Amino acid sequence: MSIGNLTLRPINNNPNPKPCDPSSCGEIRNISYPFRLNTDPKRCGHSKYELSCENNTTSLYLNSQKYLVKAIIYHNSTIRLTDAAVQNDDICSFPNHSLSGFDFGGSSYTYSIKRYDRKSPAITWPMTFVSCPYDPVNNSQYPHVLDTSHCSDSKYSYVKFGALNGSYVMDLCRIDLMVMASLNMKSDTLSNLSQVHSCLVYGFELSWFIVLC
Instruction: Write down the pLDDT at residue 66.
Output: 93
Which pLDDT score is estimated for 117?
A: 45
What are the per-10-residue average pLDDT scores of the chain (213 residues)? Answer: 44 54 92 92 90 94 91 90 93 86 72 50 73 61 69 68 60 79 65 85 83 55
Q: What is the reported pLDDT for 213?
A: 55
Q: In this structure, is residue 3 part of a structural domain?
A: no
- Residue 181 confidence (pLDDT): 83
**Number of domains into which the chain is organized:** 1
Q: Report yes or no on 15 lying in a domain.
A: no
Query: Each residue of 1-53: pLDDT tens digit?
Result: 444 444 444 444 445 455 789 999 999 999 999 999 999 998 898 888 999 99
Is 91 among the domain residues? yes
Task: Show the domain range for 105.
Answer: 23-212
The closest alpha carbon to 108, from 155, 65, 32, 50, belongs to 50
Does the predicted model carry a pTM greater than 0.85? no
Q: Which backbone phi and psi does 90 adopt, to 5 degrees?
A: -125, 105
* Pairwise CA distance, residues 142 & 158, whole Å: 10
Is the CB of residue 37 less than 8 Å from the CB of residue 25?
yes
Q: Is residue 13 part of a domain?
A: no
